[in-house]
Amino acid sequence: MSRQFSSVHRPEDANLTVADEHGTVQIQKLVSQGERLEITNGHDEIKLDSLLLEGLSWQRERGVLAEVVADLDESDPVPLTGGAPDGSVPEISISNEYSHTTVRKIHTEAGEAIQIETPARGTRINLGVRSLRALTTVADTYVFSEWFQTPFGPEDDPVEGPL
């Protein structure tokens, strides 16, 4: 008996859609040689593992994101914090041997967004549709390696340095 396996498994209940006046962005979990989150705006896409999502969750300022994501629109009206979870869609869990992140759809006064959270670290960030579209234009996720100069997340005390 021969078995055919798809190289990428897309769990049906592990996808979200967020929209604004300019269109939609699809977010879905992929399982293929590890779990990844695929973000697509219809023609551009990016795939992020849990560690890269964790690096995003550490960011506290939109300007820091704009330094790494060239097309990031700093005028995205969605705040980086706050919002109410959309209880009608399940959150997505992305894990690997180094980290665990959750992604959920939220509603803010400025519109729909996703919230990326690293529960073990207590860090989270909201990304609106504009920011997600910009994220899909990143051609090489190596640019995010800058965030791992402090591998345990941002340090509140510059004297403390990396752990």
Which of 2-6, 70-74, 104-108 shows the lowest per-residue confidence on average (mean pLDDT)?
Answer: 2-6
Q: Bigger pLDDT: 120 or 13?
A: 120
User: Which among 29, 16, 25, 11 has a CA at the least distance from the CA of 104?
Assistant: 16
Per-residue model confidence as pLDDT tens digits over 85-122: 999 999 999 999 999 999 999 999 999 999 999 999 99
- pLDDT of 2 strictly over 90: no
The token pair at 5 is 């396996």
- pLDDT of 55 strictly over 50: yes
The answer to the question of residue 149 being in a domain is no
Q: Which pTM value belongs to this model?
A: 0.85
Contact 113, 83 (CB under 8 A): yes
The count of domains in the chain is 1
Using DSSP's 3-state secondary structure scheme, residue 123 falls into strand
The answer to the question of residue 158 being in a domain is no
C-alpha–C-alpha distance, residues 112 and 109, integer Å: 8
- pLDDT of 63 strictly over 90: no
User: Which among 32, 28, 24, 33 has a CA at the least distance from the CA of 12?
Assistant: 28
Q: Where do the DSSP E strands lie in 51-110?
A: 84-85, 92-95, 100-108
Q: Give the structural domain span for 125.
A: 15-142
Tell me what pLDDT residue 67 has: 86
The token pair at 130 is 């504009």
Tell me what pLDDT residue 12 has: 64
Using DSSP's 3-state secondary structure scheme, residue 100 falls into strand
- pLDDT of 152 strictly over 90: no
The answer to the question of residue 125 being in a domain is yes
Contact 26, 15 (CB under 8 A): yes
The answer to the question of residue 30 being in a domain is yes
